Amino acid sequence: MPSARPLCLITGLDRLGIPLAWPAQDRIWPETNRFTDIWLGVLCALRLEPSACLPYTLAVDFLDDQWTQFRPSHDDLYMLYGIEVQTLTVWRPLIDHLHEQLSAGRLVIVDVPARSLPDGGGGLLHPRSATETIVINEIDTAQERLGCFHRTDYRVLQGAEYRRLLHPESDPESQTLLGRAEVINLHNLVRRPPDTLRHLSHQLLEKYLQRVPTRHPLRRWKRRFAHEITLLMSGGPTHYQHWADAGPHQLGAAFELAALYLVWIAGSTSGSAHLVQAADAFRQLSVLARALLLKGARAVVNGQPFNEYALVERMTRHWSRGMQLLGAGEIVLDTPTLLLRPAPAADGRAAATD
């Protein structure tokens, strides 16, 4: 049976909110995706420097029908902050696990049905999804109160909202939809000096520059965009929202964070002008991605033409310039690279490839 003792690991969030590193009003994309938003919120709440973990945004790729839904890796989090993430096997009621793990000083990540939250997302920049990710920080069984990180916010669920999430027997579908669960172990949390953190983060920058796609992702996306125009115009607002969230939203949000990161890592160090220039290129890419998304939304709603090939070409050039400034541009090709060789044809000749 869960203890009636209230548990809270990071205090004051219910009153003061998350001390975000970058105020929403200053952002091009106030929300990125449910994974990155939550981690940035947790790091800020722990008074850690979130910029240090952002090099991964530089390696996002176009995956033929969507852009990478980027997130910090567990190895990076451990290297920079001593934060360890482990899988939580939910073999008993979730509420029992929450008391066990929070009592031991671990935050709990869990994927829950979107309808079990007061607002499961939605709107132009985030179409409503079936599943949402939350990080649970506090629970008070006696008062039916639960505090959690959700996207860019800190929420307190009480009463009926609390019961809907933690007592799924009243809603059988909620129990079957409960997904991935993990714990965030803070026992080895370390607050490194700024110079040390920059040094470690620079190592991550070098790692992710090695992972920059070797086929120009913006040019591949531009070709796909040209073929998708008709379907986007005829698919209606809902179809467009889902396309936009998986496409220009992920692209633009990733490179806004990449720009913020490069400005941070440059600091006041001499010889870092190329980092600031690359940041400017990526910020321009991000601004254009948002303009593309909004223009497309208006075109779909009003039945207007949507032929923004020139805008996409400008985005492509900004990506190229930024990567060249970082020293990654020379490895990028604009032609397909054979990754898996097809089986030989029946007559012994090699099968044709693109």
3-state secondary structure the chain: CCCCCCEECCCCHHHHCCCCCCCHHHCCCCCCCHHHHHHHHHHHHCCCCHHHHHHHHHHCCECCCCECCCCCCHHHHHHHHCCEEEECCCCCCHHHHHHHHHHCCEEEEEEEEHHHCCCCCCCCCCCCCCEEEEEEEEEECCCCEEEEEECCEEEEEECHHHHHHHCHHHCHHHHHHCCCEEEEECCCCCCCCHHHHHHHHHHHHHHHHCCCCCECHHHHHHHHHHHHHHHHHHCHHHHHHHHHHHHHHHHHHHHHHHHHHHHHHHCCCCCCHHHHHHHHHHHHHHHHHHHHHHHHHHHHHHCCCCCCHHHHHHHHHHHHHHHHHCCCHHHCECCCCCCCCCCCCCCCCCCCCC
Instruction: Decide if pLDDT at 345 tops 50.
Output: no
**What pLDDT sits at residue 308?**
87
**What pLDDT sits at residue 271?**
84
**What pLDDT sits at residue 30?**
95
4-8, 128-132, 145-149: which has the minimum mean pLDDT? 128-132
Q: Tokens standing for 76?
A: 């990076």
- List, for residues 139-157, the tens digit of each pLDDT value: 999 999 999 999 999 999 9
Residue type, 244: A
Reported as a pLDDT band with limits 50, 70 and 90, residue 337 is very low
17-31, 74-88, 162-176, 220-234: which has the minimum mean pLDDT? 162-176
- List, for residues 16-32, the tens digit of each pLDDT value: 999 999 988 999 999 99
**What pLDDT sits at residue 190?**
98
Average pLDDT over residues 52-80: 97
Q: CA neighbours within 13 Å on the CB side: how many for 169?
A: 4
**What pLDDT sits at residue 343?**
44
**What pLDDT sits at residue 349?**
36
Closest CA to 150 of 170, 167, 165, 140: 165
Alpha carbons 175 and 157: distance in angstroms, whole number:
18
Q: What is the rounded average pLDDT for all residues in the chain?
A: 88
Average pLDDT over residues 155-178: 74
**What pLDDT sits at residue 350?**
38
Domain boundaries defined on the chain:
7-185, 213-331
Residue type, 143: Q
**What pLDDT sits at residue 121?**
47
Instruction: Decide if pLDDT at 338 tops 50.
Output: no
Average pLDDT over residues 253-258: 99
Which of the pair, 77 or 124, is modelled with greater confidence? 77
Distance of CA 258 to the CA centre of its chain: 12
Instruction: Decide if pLDDT at 85 tops 50.
Output: yes
- List, for residues 282-330, the tens digit of each pLDDT value: 999 999 999 999 999 999 999 888 888 899 999 999 999 999 999 986 5
**What pLDDT sits at residue 46?**
98
- List, for residues 182-211, the tens digit of each pLDDT value: 999 999 999 999 999 999 999 999 999 999
87-101, 186-200, 218-232, 244-258: which has the minimum mean pLDDT? 218-232
172-176, 190-194, 222-226: which has the minimum mean pLDDT? 172-176
**What pLDDT sits at residue 129?**
67
